[in-house]
Each structure stands twice: as structure tokens, then as C-alpha cells.
């Protein structure tokens, strides 16, 4: 069964009920962030092409929209960097043609240096780029970018995008303890945010178990200090609290069934179930919180298991 390119809707901390569009094959990305929940990047690239056909994405979307009513956002994100799909602009236009639900794009921002990408994202309602470092050294350490991407490219792209983009920009900063939470780093990030002029700054930390053992969350106290330093536009991304339907029990059951047979990675579960890896992560996260499954590490790979 091939993985679907549309997943959800899933409850999202930031976007309410978000229907995800994943226009990129698993772990095709221009970065290899140390905190990435999807694991190591298997294809690190800056080459844009139509990795997943627009017709497949839009066909699946139409099918889901016909039966789902609780969707707050349609969000391009998923298993890698969505702007690597050269047809993302066409996809956003097609989504806008078939529904009035707002469109968000979650991006690492590395390709905003390209005029074509800036143009393609212009009609999205919300763009959520990330910026995790104020200095090149930290950028290399936390985001492990493609060799042709430096922090300066990312910053220049973000500034140029702000100049042409009429919608909302929510800048996400993912904080990792002892990596990018020092005073010096935060001072530099603050200077940059003044140039980037986002509508909102979202502070995040590794709430979900990270892939790399050395990656640890920043304490609530430190998050609060950093929020105060970054000013009134900054908020800490809070856990999702909305009432009503959340996770689908049939999907929980499917994941339990797979794990009852043997421990599996996110990718294994996605392949066996046909679910999108990003959706699997959300459900795994919830099952861990419920104490139903546990993490097992074997030879630097993270597996999930059920007792
Ligand atoms: S940019 Fe996103 S998908 Fe790519 S490695 Fe970083 S967290 Fe993972």
C-alpha cells in the first residue's frame, strides 16, 4: 500500500484541526535537524522537482474534503521540506480553488532565497518558517543543513519573503538545551527577529521524544525567560487543549496491532499501515502519553514497542 499524501485532520498545537499535505517522500529535506522526530535525513538535497504529482495530492484532498467537516487549516508539511516540491505553488492554487479553508505552509525556510519559492508561497494564508540559530556555528550544529546552505542564505530569504508576502508569518524557534538556548544565541536571534518582522514568534522545545539521545528540552523556566526577552510577539506553543474529537480510535488500534507483532520504527509503521509518517508520529506521541507504548533503542535506531 503506498503512503497517502494527505493525513489527518490531526489536532495540532498551533493550527487547531489540521489536515496535512505531504508533497515530499520520507525524509527528503535540505536539513537534518538534531531534533527531527522523523529520524535522520536519508536524502539531503536542495533540488526542487515534482516529487509527488500534483494530481495525486489534489485527488486525495478532494476525497477527504467530501467527508471531513472539522478542518481549521490545510497545512503543507510532513516527511521533509515541502518547498522542495517544485509544484507547491500549483498545489496551493488548486487547494484554494476547491475550498475556502485557510492554507498554511510549515517550512525550514532554506529555499526562500529563491524568488520562485517566494512567489509560490505568496497566496498561502500563513507561513511558518523556522529559525533555530543566530550564529552559523549553531545553525550547523542544530540544523545540519545541505552543504550549499548557510545561515545567511536563510536570513536573506526570510527578509526578502517578508517584503513580498502579504499574509501572516509565524516564526518558529525550536529550542534545545545547551545547544541554542544560551544568552548569546538568544540575543542574536532577537536581533534577527527585529529584521525579519514576523507577526508572531512561536517558541517550541522538544516535547516529543527526540531521535538523538543528546537532544534535551529546555525547562519551562528558561522558556519563559526567553519569551520575555523576545518581546510581546513571542509566545510559548502550548499543548493542544481543545475539546471534542481528537485521535481516531481505529488508527490507535491499527498501530497497536502492528506493534503487538514486533517493535517497529515510524517508517515501518507508516509502510505497514499506509499512513503518512507525520500522522504516525502524532498517534505514537499520544499512545506514549497514555503509557500504552514505549521506546526501545537498538543500534542507534529508535523503535516503538508494546508489552
Ligand atoms: S527541517 Fe523539518 S523535516 Fe527537515 S530535518 Fe528539520 S525538522 Fe526534520
Output the CA 251–ligand 1 centroid distance in Å: 24
Is the predicted pLDDT of residue 290 greater than 50, yes or no? yes
pTM given for the model: 0.84
pLDDT value of position 291: 87
Bigger pLDDT: 174 vs 9 = 174
Cβ atoms of residues 251 and 7 within 8 Å: no
Q: What is the mean pLDDT of the chain?
A: 90
Name the residue at shortest CA distance from atom 7 of ligand 1: 36
Supply φ then ψ for residue 305, to 5 degrees: -140, 155
**Which of ligand 1's atoms lies nearest the C-alpha of 110?**
1
pLDDT value of position 168: 97
pLDDT value of position 109: 97
> What percentage of the chain reaches a pLDDT higher than 90?
62
Give the mean model confidence (pLDDT) for residues 263-272: 85
pLDDT tens profile 178-230: 999 999 999 999 999 999 999 999 999 986 555 666 788 899 999 999 999 99
Name the residue at shortest CA distance from atom 5 of ligand 1: 32
Question: Which band of pLDDT confidence, cut at 50, 70 and 90, is reported for residue 307?
Answer: confident
**Which of ligand 1's atoms lies nearest the C-alpha of 32?**
5
pLDDT value of position 263: 87
**Which of 26, 84, 108, 281 best tests ligand 1's pocket when mutated (most atoms within 8 Å of CB)?**
108
Is the predicted pLDDT of residue 4 greater than 80, yes or no? no
3-state secondary structure the chain: CCCCCEEEEEEECCCEEEEEECCCCCCEECCCCCCCCCCCCCEECCCCECCCCHHHHHHHHHHHHCCCCCCCEEEECCCCCHHHECCHHHHHHHHHHHCCCCEEEEECCCCCCCHHHHHHHCCCCEEEEECCCCCHHHHHHHHCCCCCCCHHHHHHHHHHHHHHCCCEEEEEEEECCCCCCCHHHHHHHHHHHHHHCCCEEEEEECCCCCCCCCCCCCCHHHHHHHHHHHCCCEEECCCCCCCCCCCCHHHHHHHHHHHHHCCECHHHHHHHHCCCHHHHHHHHHHHHHCCCCEEEEECCEEEEECC
- Give the alpha-carbon dihedral of 91, 96, 102, 108, to 10 degrees: 20
Is the predicted pLDDT of residue 241 greater than 70, yes or no? no
Domains of the chain, with CATH numbers?
Answer: 6-242 (3.20.20.70), 247-307 (1.10.10.10)
**Which of ligand 1's atoms lies nearest the C-alpha of 79?**
3
Is the predicted pLDDT of residue 146 greater than 60, yes or no? yes
Bigger pLDDT: 44 vs 285 = 44
Question: Which band of pLDDT confidence, cut at 50, 70 and 90, is reported for residue 113?
Answer: very high
Is the predicted pLDDT of residue 262 greater than 70, yes or no? yes
Output the CA 294–ligand 1 centroid distance in Å: 23
Question: Which band of pLDDT confidence, cut at 50, 70 and 90, is reported for residue 114?
Answer: very high
Q: Which of 55-59, 75-79, 210-214, 247-251 has the lowest mean pLDDT?
A: 210-214
Question: Which band of pLDDT confidence, cut at 50, 70 and 90, is reported for residue 9?
Answer: confident
pLDDT value of position 3: 63
Which residues lie with the beta carbon below 6 Å from any ligand 1 atom?
29, 31-33, 36, 38, 41, 80-81, 108
pLDDT value of position 244: 45
Supply φ then ψ for residue 148, to 5 degrees: -95, 10
Amino acid at each position: 500500500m503506498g503512503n497517502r499524501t494527505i493525513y489527518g485532520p490531526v489536532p495540532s498545537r498551533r493550527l487547531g484541526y489540521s489536515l496535512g499535505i505531504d508533497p515530499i517522500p520520507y525524509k527528503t529535506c535540505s536539513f537534518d535537524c538534531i531534533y527531527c522526530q522523523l529520524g535522520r535525513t536519508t536524502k539531503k538535497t536542495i533540488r526542487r522537482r515534482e516529487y509527488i504529482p500534483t494530481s495525486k495530492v489534489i485527488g486525495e484532498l478532494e476525497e477527504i474534503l467530501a467527508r471531513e467537516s472539522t478542518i481549521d487549516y490545510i497545512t503543507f508539511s510532513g516527511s521533509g521540506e515541502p518547498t522542495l516540491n517544485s509544484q507547491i505553488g500549483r498545489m496551493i492554487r488548486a487547494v484554494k480553488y476547491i475550498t475556502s479553508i485557510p492554507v498554511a505552509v510549515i517550512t525550514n525556510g532554506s529555499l526562500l532565497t529563491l524568488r520562485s519559492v517566494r512567489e509560490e508561497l505568496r497566496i498561502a494564508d500563513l507561513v511558518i518558517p523556522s529559525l533555530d540559530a543566530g550564529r552559523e556555528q549553531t545553525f550547523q550544529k542544530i540544523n545540519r543543513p545541505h552543504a550549499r546552505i548557510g545561515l545567511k542564505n536563510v536570513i536573506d530569504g526570510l527578509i526578502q519573503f517578508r517584503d513580498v508576502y502579504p499574509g501572516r508569518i509565524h516564526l518558529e524557534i525550536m529550542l534545545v538545551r545547551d545547544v541554542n538556548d544560551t544568552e548569546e544565541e538568544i540575543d542574536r536571534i532577537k536581533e534577527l527577529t527585529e529584521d525579519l518582522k514576523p507577526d508572531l514568534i512561536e517558541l517550541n522545545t522538544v516535547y516529543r521524544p527526540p531521535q538523538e539521545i543528546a537532544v534535551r528540552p529546555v525547562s519551562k523556566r528558561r522558556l519563559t525567560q526567553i519569551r520575555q526577552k523576545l518581546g510581546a510577539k513571542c509566545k510559548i506553543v502550548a499543548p493542544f487543549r481543545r475539546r471534542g474529537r481528537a485521535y481516531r480510535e481505529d488508527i490507535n488500534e491499527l498501530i497497536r496491532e502492528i506493534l503487538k507483532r514486533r517493535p517497529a520504527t515510524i517508517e515501518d509503521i507508516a509502510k505497514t499501515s499506509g499512513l503518512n509518517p507525520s500522522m504516525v508520529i502524532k498517534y505514537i506521541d499520544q499512545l506514549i502519553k497514555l503509557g500504552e507504548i514505549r521506546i526501545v533503542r537498538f543500534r542507534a535506531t529508535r523503535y516503538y514497542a508494546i508489552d
